[in-house]
Structure 1
Amino acid sequence: MKKIIILTDFKGELSLDLKNTLKKIFENYVIIENLYLNSIKENDIIDGDVILFMLENRFEKYSHHIKNKENVIIISRTIKKEVLKKLEVLPKDEPILVVNDFYETTLQLTSLLYRTKYKYLKLISYNEKEKKDLSYIKYAITPGIKEKVPKGITNIIDLGVRVLDLFTIISIANKLKLNENIKIINNILLYIDEIVFIKNGIEEHYRDLYLKNKELEGLLTNNSDGIILINDKNKILFFNKRACDFLNIPLEINQYFFKIIESNLHIENFENKKNDIIEIKGNFYYILFNQIKLYNNQYLLISLKDITELKKWKIL
């Protein structure tokens, strides 16, 4: 099974939150592991299908520990929609300090806030290395790092820990080759509704996929035959409960069950497959292979019809 490694400076709320988010989206399709930069030893080598760094400078510092650098993603983060309403109490004409753990991430948060409906706020990015007089500032915004806010500022809006943005989630799905998985696409759509992001056509693309997949999933799920859907790269995208019953496997889809299906149906190569009668664990099935085109993509639809009774009566 493929693995995502989350690299944070230390174990804390951020590392836990990121792991929970990824579990929610990618479910049991991947293994998710937390590693902490403050615990890495000199000769440690980090190997994963996706390796997440929080900042570019962290990757530069620890890149010699990474086995495959092409698997690295420098994450981008955003905030949840539900916390934005907290900003409504802030005055329009007062300076407001934006405070994050590092100046780089402070600039990122400031930029994000300026692209929301609260762009009218007078935001100032806090740089603790600069010794400026901030005594005139009464308000501050921070994503869960109140301890970084300069003393004397008592009106603090805490937005909570920042979450993975849409671009990062899609980049992870693409690297894992899970971007065509119906369940994960649906999970991404649900996640989109929770977060703040800048619209650039990605949301519309995923919503369109979501609606099409829901329609397709309904047709396949309710079919009386066992149904298995495979893309043009021979990757199993979907199978319904009936197929699981025939193959005697649980409904949850993961790589282990893909291998069971492949071994039972002998589908290493689909190019010259012919309809046939096969036996699985004492039962007989008529297996049909159909090349279909959906939404400009080519798929192979495998149907399994239970003909055990017909075989017993020697009708076939």
Structure 2
Amino acid sequence: MKRKVHVISIQEEYLDIISKQLIEVLGDRIEIYSITIKSLKMDMILPGDIVILSKGILKGITRPFIPASCPIIIGKREINIVNTKELIILPDGQNILVVNDTIEQSKETAFSLENIYFEHTYFVDDGVNPIPENIDFIVTPGEKQLVPEHFTNVIDIGPRILSFQTFLELSNLIDEHNDKLHLMNRYMKSQISLAKEFIHDLGGKRKDTRELVELYNPDIPPVKTSSSILTDDKINSITSKIDKHGFLEESIKILELYERGKRQFQSYGRLKVKQMLEDSGFTLSEQQIRIRLEVLQELGLLLARQGRGGTTITTVGEKFLEVQRGK
């Protein structure tokens, strides 16, 4: 029987990320219930359930909603090392300014980076210590909007994820005889899966970062990525390609199903999609569904991920749906 795990966070976006990661690592052993602070209600969490809080500061405000018998884990954050390829090829001795949404988060990120890429010197704008004028790069974990557009030497390493230590603590609660090597392999899989989704959603923005690194290593070819910005021409191109196959209406319905699944942190196999389509009046074979999914993936509207994370709608897919609904 799967153990119920409730994940509580302030930010819905971060809740989405760590819920996906939990599915990737322990999806066969736990049932995940994702809750934002504003939607937390009495009797949602039952005695014996496990609770993961995204921050220690939430412990006080959530205590009335959590039965005394529930173990509580404070989720520790760590950078996703798979997203730090640009840092690997930087020359030693760079001065790097770390920018995050709070001073505390910036310091945590800088500490993580320093433990991994010790060849560089890291600075945080804490309002106390001066920042040197000769900053070589600015590194941010998914908070690029906090960096003035004037700066072009910015490396976005993507949002931080749950640390392996957090998963080890959770796994011990589920099974005290857990296999650490097995858990580590799954954790690494989750890093790769989330990094793939991050790069896909970034689209052309990733290329800008790559060009910075090419100044130091011109032999590395630029990464070719498609822009996540949907221009009228791109919308027409996507619509035309789907329509060419003769299943525009069905494709929109499929995207809507995956959009709903993303919001509910659910993944669907082809049989489930087939059933849901039939409930909506679309009768398709598994083979027909497979073809439609492949086309949507090729167009960047869906992202097929390995493991229990399953297929999910991309940012481009969500924007495409918005445009179609507005017609």
2:140 is matched with which residue? 142
Contact 2:98–2:106 (8 Å) recurs in 1: yes
User: Structure 2 regions of 5+ residues with no counterpart?
Assistant: 193-327
Contact 1:78–1:163 (8 Å) recurs in 2: yes
Which of 187, 206, 217 lines up with 1:191 in the alignment? 187
The CA RMSD over aligned residues, in Å, is: 3.2
Distance change (3 Å), C-alpha of 1:152 and 1:130:
farther
1:6: how far off?
1.0
Matched AA of 2:4? K
1:39 is matched with which residue? 39
Contact 2:24–2:186 (8 Å) recurs in 1: no
| Greater fraction of residues in helix | 2
1:18: how far off?
1.2
Between the aligned partners of 2:147 and 2:81, the Cα distance in structure 1 is 23
Q: Is residue 166 of structure 2 the alignment partner of residue 152 of structure 1? A: no
SS of 1:56 mapped into structure 2: coil
Distance change (3 Å), C-alpha of 1:185 and 1:31:
farther
1:108: how far off?
1.6
Alignment of 1:113-124 (within 5 A): 113-116=113-116, 118-124=117-123
Residues paired across the two proteins, number = 190
1:78 is matched with which residue? 78
Matched AA of 1:180? H
SS of 1:28 mapped into structure 2: coil
Distance change (3 Å), C-alpha of 1:79 and 1:195:
farther
2:3 is matched with which residue? 2
Deviation string 1:170-212 (CA, Å, 9 cap, x unpaired) is 10011123x4357x9635434247769xxxxxxxxxxxxxxxx
Contact 1:24–1:187 (8 Å) recurs in 2: no
Deviation string 1:207-265 (CA, Å, 9 cap, x unpaired) is xxxxxxxxxxxxxxxxxxxxxxxxxxxxxxxxxxxxxxxxxxxxxxxxxxxxxxxxxxx
Distance change (3 Å), C-alpha of 1:4 and 1:70:
closer
SS of 1:153 mapped into structure 2: coil
User: Structure 1 regions of 5+ residues with no counterpart?
Assistant: 197-316
Alignment of 1:273-284 (within 5 A): none
Between the aligned partners of 2:146 and 2:132, the Cα distance in structure 1 is 14
Matched AA of 2:167? I
Contact 1:53–1:73 (8 Å) recurs in 2: yes
1:204 is matched with which residue? none
Identity percentage of aligned residues? 24
1:85: how far off?
2.2
Matched AA of 2:10? D
Contact 1:144–1:161 (8 Å) recurs in 2: yes
| Greater fraction of residues in strand | 1
Contact 1:79–1:161 (8 Å) recurs in 2: yes
SS of 2:155 mapped into structure 1: strand
Matched AA of 1:3? K
Q: Is residue 98 of structure 2 the alignment partner of residue 98 of structure 1? A: yes
Q: Which has the higher contact order (CA 8 A, sep 6+)?
A: 2
Distance change (3 Å), C-alpha of 1:151 and 1:138:
farther
Between the aligned partners of 2:21 and 2:174, the Cα distance in structure 1 is 16
Contact 1:55–1:74 (8 Å) recurs in 2: yes
1:135: how far off?
6.6
Distance change (3 Å), C-alpha of 1:28 and 1:89:
closer
Which of 145, 168, 171 lines up with 2:169 in the alignment? 171
